[in-house]
Structure 1
């Protein structure tokens, strides 16, 4: 896994099975279940993996009202980048992760509770 800043931690994995394993590893370490998120390129895939892993999806609480509403009008790529930035990553990091999601990878993120 790669720490990109002091608050958020991210790992790109190849598939849903690896995402579930990574979520379990994080849950067994010092991350709280409420602070572990999964993100895939398609919303449906994100829903399925989050459900299977018992992880969260990046939503209104993390994004804020304005970004959540704006996402209704954004392309999926723009929406994904906005979600990643809302968790605490830079625009450059978000662009990189979104490109990897385009390739079918899954992003697992853990955020330290403050």
Structure 2
């Protein structure tokens, strides 16, 4: 089961990640999503969280994401770390408004 947090900025993301760690999630199981890839990479690197990769998506989906829109790619990645299709669509809408989505999953 995945836990999702919606935050406005990196400072709020840091606090949310610390709260998730207090609940028993390790940073290897916490993922940060932003609509813009560079922002996502920068915050992930700064806060030492995990990136969605082959382990989570699988090779076929990772290659497919190369040829899809950013929104489709984000929804696919969020599903690969534990969100349902509708939860991923809702979370992607939050990204469209400039927010960050944090997903913690012990199963990912």
Q: TM-score, normalised by structure 1?
A: 0.88
Pairing of 1:18-33 with structure 2 (within 5 A): 18-33=12-27
* RMSD (Å), alpha carbons: 1.3
Q: Retained in 2: the 8 A contact 1:80–1:98? A: yes
Q: Distance in 1 between matches of 2:51 and 2:15?
A: 17
Residue aligning to 1:49: 43
**Structure 1 stretches of at least 4 aligned residues deviating more than 6 Å after TM superposition:** none
Does 1:106 pair with 2:100?
A: yes
Gaps of 5+ in 1: 1-6
C-alpha displacement of 1:74: 0.3
Residue aligning to 1:59: 53
C-alpha displacement of 1:88: 1.8
C-alpha displacement of 1:111: 0.6
Of 55, 78, 82, the residue aligned with 2:76 is 82
- Residue aligned with 1:48, SS: helix
Gaps of 5+ in 2: none
C-alpha displacement of 1:19: 0.9
C-alpha displacement of 1:113: 4.4
